[in-house]
Structure 1
Amino acid sequence: MHQRYTKTAVSLHWLMAILIVAAFGLGLTMTDIPGITPTKLRYFSWHKWLGVTLLGLACLRLLWRLAHPAPAYPASMSAGQKTIASATHLLMYLLMFAVPVSGYFYTLAAGVPVVYLGLLPLPVLIEPNETLKPLLKGVHYWLNMLFLGAFILHVLGALKHLLWQRDGLFQRILP
């Protein structure tokens, strides 16, 4: 039996996975709504709130991870598999920060304040900027696409360990 992740790490992993999927789905949905409608504006607010929440959880998760390192990979994993797994995890950690930060700056460049949960105005770090706006929109989009690719690779790796290798690696992160 492999060493398990801590309960806190497991909880943060699954909570963030659910919220990331929700934010991604909401992002796709809201951008497909033509024009400016009350529903679209509501979805944009929810999307931003999810992004701010995810950024806060990413900070908490990183601090937890630094204090509680992940269990070692099993000796049965090849060096190549360990490298791919480590690189994918590192990329996903970077994207947990880069995606919401890029969305935040895109929103500010568009001249829209971010008011968390409709109650807490977040600082305006840049002024509206019509030149930066499309650039930051593209950065936010492509970081999300990179995150989607890393997420798919992560899920496929997890399924490989669960269904083919049956080495108990997947069970380490189950609630």
Structure 2
Amino acid sequence: LLFAEDTVGLMEPGTVRTIYDPTAGTGGMLSVAEERLLERNPDARLRLYGQEINDQSYAICKSDMIAKGQDAGNIKLGDTLADDLFFDRTFDFCMSNPPYGVDWKASQESVKKESLAPNSRFSHGLPAIGDGQMLFLSHLASKMRPAHEGGGRAGIVLNGSPLF
């Protein structure tokens, strides 16, 4: 569904699309996204971006991408909530499967500081410290390409806890 409405654009020669996962893990979502888009247009130029907090998952992601012949240069190690390593970028497609029910205490100082800045990722308010899923949702929304630049799309996998 994330890619459904971009079918026509994906078929144009020279198409370039950016795909971002701020919770990249071992890179599975990025790899599958690339596979699906290349099925539609084998000549599309896709740029994969990801950030992962866990150093072992990060290493697996990078090595798996290299083994598949993918460009792993835009996969970064770091805490997405505390330090957005792609702070100056927006993307065509954003996707994430953030950790369920994990607190954001480790990122609290940085997140609270950023929330005070107008138009920041978190300026609209902060959720309870016990579950960071809403912060990832806010982050993902901030990474979508603006409508005046052609727009972006996002998909996120959440459990029910952000609703309460």
For Structure 1 versus Structure 2, the TM-score category normalised by the shorter chain is under 0.3
Higher helix share: 1
TM (norm. structure 2) is 0.27
The structure showing larger relative contact order (alpha-carbon pairs under 8 Å, at least 6 residues apart) is 1
> Structure 1-normalised TM-score?
0.26
- State which structure, 1 or 2, has the greater radius of gyration over its C-alpha atoms: 1
